Amino acid sequence: MSKLYLVPTPIGNLEDITLRSIRVLKEVDGILAEDTRTSGNLLRHLGISKPLTAFHIRNEHQVVARMADRIAAGETLALVTDAGTPAISDPGFLLVRECVKRGIEVECLPGPTAFVPALVNSGLPAEKFLFEGFLPHKKGRQTKLREVAENRYTTILYESPFRLLKTLQQLAEVCGPERKVCVSRELTKIHEENARGTLAEVIAHFSKKEIKGEIVIVLEGKEGADSVATIEETED
């Protein structure tokens, strides 16, 4: 039976791809990729040869219906992103939505995604959290920053290395410089870094160095101390 597979790919270390993901990529009729060059490199590393079709933020509306038509006609396709799980902070959800609308089977494989290890190793409460992805660049940014500041649970943000300091400084303005934060970059790679401390401390840390790699910001909730107390009381 034809279906759409969502196949997570490594966020850095190529050893993190699962045996099941490799099998599925070998068995499907074709692969939809955010960047065919990046995915092509991964497939060559795995010894897999499959037709690749570009599916990214600049063409998703044109491709969605066409790809759903292919699956409905009997093909089985895999959707991959450059790194991590498809449809998280990328346009993959549009294809999933279209397939669900048409009654086409969708199966998501478990695997790598950047925000989970960043959250778990942050040392901040993880029993409840808010994943915001990327903040708006312009319109609605200040409103979203204020919402984040008032959120009582741990908040997770994605950010580019070019905007990291600006975002941290804006968070310090709305949350206060003493709010705790962990900034993770280059997760699973050789130069992985997890910078923990107050917003003021982490801003000072990154102000002294060149910032590279994909970034995950894990921010303490407004009532972080109360959240920790709640966990301890529950465990007792």
Q: Read off the pLDDT band of 59 (50, 70, 90).
A: confident
CATH number for the domain that contains residue 156: 3.30.950.10
14 and 45 assigned to the same domain = yes
C-alpha span between 200 and 203 (Å, rounded): 5
Q: Is residue 192 part of a domain?
A: yes
Q: Please write the tens of the pLDDT for every residue from 92-147.
A: 899 999 999 999 999 999 999 999 999 999 999 999 999 999 999 989 999 999 99
Q: Please write the tens of the pLDDT for every residue from 148-194.
A: 999 999 999 999 999 999 999 999 999 999 999 999 999 999 999 99
Name the domain boundary from 81, 108, 135.
108
Name the domain boundary from 60, 75, 108.
108
65 and 159 assigned to the same domain = no
Q: Is residue 236 part of a domain?
A: no
Residue 3 DSSP symbol: -
185 and 81 assigned to the same domain = no
Q: Please write the tens of the pLDDT for every residue from 13-49.
A: 999 999 999 999 999 999 999 999 999 999 999 999 9
CATH number for the domain that contains residue 98: 3.40.1010.10
* pLDDT score for 61: 76
Query: For the chain, how many structural domains are there in total?
Result: 2
Name the domain boundary from 78, 108, 138.
108
52 and 142 assigned to the same domain = no
* pLDDT score for 232: 39
88 and 149 assigned to the same domain = no
Q: What sign does the dihedral 89-90-91-97 (CA atoms) show?
A: negative
* pLDDT score for 58: 77
User: Is residue 212 a contact partner of residue 186, using CB atoms and an 8 Å limit?
Assistant: yes
Q: Is residue 8 part of a domain?
A: yes
User: Is residue 125 a contact partner of residue 189, using CB atoms and an 8 Å limit?
Assistant: no
Angle (deg, nearest 10), helices 60-72 and 92-102: 40
Residue 234 clears pLDDT 80, i.e. is over it: no
Range of the domain at 87: 4-108
Residue 227 clears pLDDT 90, i.e. is over it: no
100 and 154 assigned to the same domain = no
**Ramachandran region of residue 188, left (φ > 0), alpha (ψ -120 to 50) or beta?**
left
User: Is residue 149 a contact partner of residue 175, using CB atoms and an 8 Å limit?
Assistant: yes
User: Is residue 9 a contact partner of residue 21, using CB atoms and an 8 Å limit?
Assistant: yes
166 and 73 assigned to the same domain = no
Q: Please write the tens of the pLDDT for every residue from 210-221.
A: 999 999 999 999
User: Is residue 22 a contact partner of residue 50, using CB atoms and an 8 Å limit?
Assistant: no
Q: Read off the pLDDT band of 89 (50, 70, 90).
A: confident
